[in-house]
Every structure is written in C-alpha cells, then in structure tokens.
Amino acid sequence: MTGRPAPSLLEEPPPSRALPVAGVKEAIERHRARRGGGAYSALRWTGALAFAAVLVALVVTLVSGSSEAFRHSGLRFLWSGTWDDNRQIYGAGIFVVGTLLTSFVALALAVPIGVGSAAYLSEMAPRWLAQPLSFAIDLIAAVPSIVVGLWGLLVLTPVFAHHVEPFLSRLPLLGALFQGPPLGPSLLLASVVLAVMILPTVVALSRTALSGVVDDDREAARALGATRWQVVRRAVVPGARSGIEAAVTLAMGRALGESIAVAMVIGNRFALPHSVGTALLSPGATLGSAVINTFGEASPGLQRSAVIGVVVELLAISVAVNAVGQILLRRRQRLVRAPVLP
C-alpha cells in the first residue's frame, strides 16, 4: 500500500499558522466604543476635571483667606515663635516645632516596631498566625482618631504622669532629655499616641514591600548558608528598601496632619520649651492642634486669617511629604516591573 510516508520523529513539526494581528487594536477600540467606551471616557475626564477644580478652589480659598495674616506679619509668620492675640503678633514657628518634634519621635517609635512586625508577618510567622495578626493591624488602622485620643487622655495620661515620666527622668544618661515636672499631657505623650496611629500604616506598607521581593534573592542567600534571620536582614529588607522608605514617608504625612488625637493629649500651650531637657515633657501644640483650639474662637479679620495661615502651612508640609512618598512608591514599582536582562 503506497502513500505518504510517516514523518520521522527527528523532523521538526510544521510551523503553526500565525494569526493576523493587523487591525486587532482598532477592532477592540470599535467594540469598546459600541459598548459605551466613549461615555466612560467622558465620565472619567469629567471626574478628573471636577477633582482638579475642587483642589484649585480649595487652595485659592485658603491662600486668599490667609493673605491678611501674611501681609501683616510677612514671611516671619512661617517661623516666628510668638503667638499673641492681645498684641496681634502671629507666628506659626512654635507649632512647626511641635509638629516636627512629635512626628519624628513618633517615627522613631513606630518604624522599628512596624518594620520588625512586617518582617515577622511576611517571612517568619506561620500562616495561621500571620493572617489574624494582619487583620488585627488593619482593624487598628480603622479606629477613628478621636477614639485613640480619648484612650490616650483617659488611660495613658495618668500612667505617664505617675509612672512613665518619673521613670524616664531617673535614667542614667537619657534622663537629661526628660527633665521637668511630670504633668501627663506633653509632647512625649502626643508622640506615643501618634506612634500608635501610624503603626498600622508602617506595618501594612512594609509588609507589601517585603512580599514583593523576588524569591531568587531568598534562595541565593540560603544557598550561601544564611540563617532565616540573616536572609531577612541581608536579602529581603535591602530588596524592599524603597518600599519601606515610602511607608515611612506616608506614615510621616499622616503624623503631620493628625489633629484631634494630638489636641487631646498634648497640653495645648502656645510657647516654646524652656530647654532641650524639658522639651519632651512640656505641653505644647502642633499645627493641627492649634487650628482645632483657635479657629472656633477666632474673630473675623486678622485673627482668623492667621489661623487659616496655619492651615496653609500644614497643607504645604503635608503635600510635600506625601509627594515624596508617592515618588518613592513609583520608583519601587518601576524597579519591580523592570525586565531582567540575560
């Protein structure tokens, strides 16, 4: 029986017929247009323009409302350390000092705990423990700030006044930074409350960054004989550095803008500390707490314009910090998506 001989196993199979790709993109766009793609595009641009208009209106309103205070005090309003309604002397420098001090101390407390917790949940904790702990951290992030502030006022204030502040003042070397009468409400207490509030942000974003590190880095470290802790410290954490930096920056943005909780525990004294040793245990004020405590009683005119000027300064600082965080996040995303060259 004659016929076409069977193909040998060594012969290459015939090439598959390639599908034409010309015009596919145009066909998809026409299909989307028939199904309402044009309406969706118009709605999307309308929403974007509406958001931009609201943002511009907000900035213009705040700047125009604070113009009288800046005309009265000049640029000294940004860093002057005197706020006196009776003499009509307004300077937001004391609030900037309180804001930066509480934010940096809160970061110093929350970042080591947050990054360590994220590394444990991402790399070491078993799944049956990591999932409930992650859910609990997310619940803490959902707690309203006024609840955290009330907890700090009712629970932490007497604890700090009777136990924590006297103990810190008796420390051999660090005690020089915690001098002064133990009052309870202070910049230190406000920093601790802020640390509790920003801790979920640091943990959640740092855990996401650590989980995004490729497994090849972990396997390479294990192949070199590294222990589990060394893998985390030398391979995983350096690989997620940009993501952790973004988490810290965004957490700082929230710490800078927090108002209600800080106003309840900071003491609200519009004066700079007398010395470095008494700075942390002294009552003070931040930009947000100053707005909360003065805007309701501010009379129209120069006084209210000065309060709005504090809002403008707080907005500028918060936008700058969050912009830096977004830049770090985008840089990390570009590094993760970058193709690996052979």
Q: What percent of the chain has pLDDT over 90?
A: 14
Query: Which of 21-25, 41-45, 310-314 is least confident?
Result: 21-25
Q: Tens digit of pLDDT for each residue in 290-303?
A: 888 888 787 888 88
Q: The tokens of 265 are what?
A: 């525990």
pLDDT for position 22:
52
Residues in the chain: 342
- 48 by Cβ neighbours in 10 Å (0-12 / 13-18 / 19+) ranks as exposed
Is the CB of residue 153 less than 8 Å from the CB of residue 256? no
Residue 248: strand, helix, or coil: helix
Q: What percent of the chain has pLDDT over 70?
A: 85
Q: Tens digit of pLDDT for each residue in 95-131?
A: 988 898 999 999 999 999 999 999 888 888 888 888 8
In sequence order, what are the residues at sequence separation of 6 or more whose Cβ sits closer than 8 angstroms to the Cβ of residue 249?
321, 322, 324, 325, 328
**Amino acid in position 171:** L
Residue the block writes with tokens 């907890």:
151
Q: Tens digit of pLDDT for each residue in 259-292?
A: 888 999 998 888 877 777 777 888 888 998 888 8
> C-alpha angle with apex 229: 227 to 230, nearest 5 degrees?
65
143 sits in the region (left: phi over 0; alpha: psi -120 to 50; else beta) called: beta
Class of domain 91-335 (CATH, top level)? mainly alpha
C-alpha span between 294 and 309 (Å, rounded): 12
Tell me the whole-structure pTM to 2 decimals.
0.78
C-alpha span between 144 and 122 (Å, rounded): 27
Residue 84: strand, helix, or coil: strand
pLDDT for position 338:
53
Q: Tens digit of pLDDT for each residue in 305-327?
A: 998 989 998 888 888 887 876 77
pLDDT for position 28:
60
